[in-house]
Amino acid sequence: MQTVIGLEIHAQLQTETKLFCGCSADYFGKEPNSNTCPVCLGMPGTLPVINKRAVDYGLRAALALNCEIPERSKFDRKNYFYPDLPKGYQISQFDEPLAVNGYLKLNGEKIRIRRVHLEEDAGKLIHQSGGTSSVDLNRVGVPLIEIVTEPDLNSPKDARDFMEKLRQILRYVEVCSGDMEKGSLRCDANISLSDNEEMGTKTEVKNMNSFRAVESALRFEENRQKETLESGGKIDQVTLGWDADAEEARPMRSKEEAHDYRYFPEPDLVPLVIDEDWKERIEENLPELPREKERRWKKEYDLPDYDVGVLTEDKEIAGYFEQAVDEYDSPKEISNWIMSELFRVLKLPETELSDVEPGDFAYLVELVGEGEINDNTAKDVLERAFTESKSPKEIVEEEGLKRISDEGALTEKIEAVIEENPDAVEDFRSGNEKVLGYLIGQLMSKTEGQADPNKAREILKEKL
Ligand code: ADP
Ligand code: ZN
Ligand code: MG
């Protein structure tokens, strides 16, 4: 049996203001109903004014997803009655969306994107114990893009990978934070199973607020449909809600049952005309996308594919890597240090990438590469640089952490070791080369691991 999945994704655009009024688009965590005005509350007599930045962001996302941009698109009213929607309709785009016919490549295959359109978000109902519900309208009117894929995905894992890839792109072009836990990126998944050429009846799964949930919910529903079909049953076209705690998708009491949205053109907004100039302006300002970056890196840096994948995952990390390599031209060493130590330190509380400049990070990696400082000391310095807001250089210099490779200083310590260990020295002189290791050990503990072992060995042999 073949599984078929198509996704409908909502991504919140990171504009300053809402889609049709001057209220802040940053509603998260605010006092309920404080972030509103007569326009987004849908008061009679108010008129929407389109936020140009939101259109720009929608275009950035659409172009990054290889879409065509029709010259004309328009807004429509999608009517439904629900307490989270004070106007009684949502302004969306119905038959003339902002963008069409795109794709996103996943494991070499094109997953087609049917459309990308602009719309405003609704508010939030808060269901309380005791059977009452409250409404918070802070989110009403926040700009979203809806991205609709063709049913081109064939497994729950692919659906998850697609979402992660999409998030990466939206973050690269800086239009959406991609935070699924906070609802900035949401996904409704349609899934059906069939054992012939035709697609089966689909069900829709909602309320997944993590990538893991997308995969688990779809796996659950895939199994349920499979069991139903294999035992001769029929699939009803229903909407299901994912309950992450119970790990189960259950039919929702849907607000959209037998819906008739009665779409009609929004009379208060003129159609959007995106001319070539506008499109070009957006295209020219698009940053290098992950795919392009990966290709360029493979040419420029001699790095394993794995490293390239990990480091280009996040645009900030990718930029950090590039700047560090500018300072210290040893991509593999920089890469190793980012993937192991930098990632470890960034997981500690209150550390951020911006705490240590990439050039300062590169300086530390270079010290290790040149044998000026040992691995463990460097790891410790890096962690402290992030937590104590000092540069690695300051820490290394203030505390004299560099290896002792200066001949004079080393010779002095070595002479002391020889004097303190007459028996071992005697052993060596009577032919037991192995005690050299022991003597080096003594020197290391005397210098707290900072003696340059190769140089020390040379001097020690000479002295003996
Ligand atoms: P509807 O008219 O029921 O909303 P659409 O054709 O608009 O359905 O598709 C909505 C979403 O569902 C799209 O992402 C699409 O790829 C997906 N989809 C459509 N048919 C199927 C199917 N049989 N199985 C799985 N996904 C489907
Ligand atoms: Zn408002
Ligand atoms: Mg539809």
Residue 417 sits in a domain whose CATH number is 1.10.10.410
- The answer to whether the CB of 149 falls within 8 A of the CB of 165 is no
Same domain for 129 and 202? yes
pLDDT along the chain (464 residues), means of 10: 97 98 95 97 96 98 98 97 94 98 94 98 93 96 98 98 97 96 96 94 95 98 97 94 94 67 96 97 95 92 93 94 96 97 94 95 94 89 92 88 74 86 88 86 80 80 83
Closest by alpha carbon to 49, among 275, 276, 265, 266? 266
Exposed (0-12), middle (13-18) or buried (19+): which is 359, by Cβ within 10 Å? middle
CA of 110 to the centre of ligand 1 (A): 17
- The answer to whether the CB of 339 falls within 8 A of the CB of 310 is yes
Residue nearest to atom 7 of ligand 1 (CA): 148
Which ligand is the nearest neighbour of the Cα of 25? Answer: 2
- The answer to whether the CB of 143 falls within 8 A of the CB of 16 is no
pLDDT for res 441 = 87
Same domain for 342 and 422? no
Domain boundary among 376, 398, 420: 398
CA distance 17 to 53: 9
CA distance 275 to 278: 5
The two structure tokens encoding residue 7: 């996704």
Ligand 1 contact, 218 CB (< 6 A): no
CA distance 271 to 265: 9
Helix (H) or strand (E) holding 386: helix 375-388
Same domain for 382 and 245? no
Structural domain of 185: 2-281
Ligand 1 contact, 192 CB (< 6 A): yes
Same domain for 223 and 338? no
Residue nearest to atom 6 of ligand 1 (CA): 150
Closest by alpha carbon to 373, among 399, 391, 353? 399
Ligand 1 contact, 288 CB (< 6 A): no
CA distance 369 to 372: 8
What pTM, to 2 d.p., does this model score? 0.82
Residue nearest to atom 22 of ligand 1 (CA): 202
Closest by alpha carbon to 145, among 85, 65, 81? 65
Residues 6+ apart with CB under 8 A from 193: 1, 2, 3, 4, 200, 222, 225, 226, 229, 235
CA distance 349 to 144: 32
Ligand 1 contact, 6 CB (< 6 A): yes
Please compute Rg for the chain using Cα positions: 30
User: Which 8-state DSSP code applies to residue 339?
Assistant: I
pLDDT for res 258 = 55
Which ligand is the nearest neighbour of the Cα of 8? Answer: 1
Question: How many CB atoms within 10 Å of residue 384?
Answer: 15
CA distance 396 to 381: 7
Tokens 């003129």 found at: 270
- The answer to whether the CB of 334 falls within 8 A of the CB of 365 is yes
Question: How many CB atoms within 10 Å of residue 361?
Answer: 27
Ligand 1 contact, 191 CB (< 6 A): yes
Kindly give the number of the ligand 1 atom that is closest to the alpha carbon of 7.
14
- Torsion sign, CA atoms 316, 322, 327, 332: positive
Kindly give the number of the ligand 1 atom that is closest to the alpha carbon of 151.
16
Ligand 1 contact, 7 CB (< 6 A): yes
Same domain for 212 and 185? yes
Same domain for 369 and 269? no
| 3-state secondary structure (DSSP) of residue 337 | helix
Same domain for 432 and 353? no
pLDDT for res 253 = 67
CA distance 66 to 106: 13
pLDDT for res 464 = 81
| 3-state secondary structure (DSSP) of residue 181 | coil
Question: How many CB atoms within 10 Å of residue 332?
Answer: 13
Instruction: Determine the residue of 103, 202, 256, 261 to mutate for testing ligand 1's pocket, defined as the one with the most ligand atoms within 8 A of the Cβ atom.
Output: 202
Measured at the CA of 186, the angle between CA 182 and CA 187, to 5 degrees, comes to 150
CA distance 378 to 375: 5
- The answer to whether the CB of 396 falls within 8 A of the CB of 402 is yes
The two structure tokens encoding residue 335: 């890469």
Instruction: Determine the residue of 4, 10, 104, 190 to mutate for testing ligand 1's pocket, defined as the one with the most ligand atoms within 8 A of the Cβ atom.
Output: 190
Counted domains in the chain:
3
Ligand 1 contact, 9 CB (< 6 A): no
Closest by alpha carbon to 169, among 303, 66, 305, 307? 66
Same domain for 134 and 261? yes
Ligand 1 contact, 381 CB (< 6 A): no
Same domain for 150 and 268? yes
CA of 46 to the centre of ligand 2 (A): 10
Same domain for 413 and 343? no
Domain boundary among 259, 281, 303: 281
Same domain for 228 and 309? no
Q: What are phi and psi of 134, to 5 degrees?
A: -115, 160
Same domain for 354 and 436? no
pLDDT for res 276 = 96
Ligand 1 contact, 8 CB (< 6 A): yes
Residue nearest to atom 15 of ligand 1 (CA): 6
CA of 149 to the centre of ligand 1 (A): 8
Ligand 1 contact, 290 CB (< 6 A): no
CA distance 170 to 154: 23
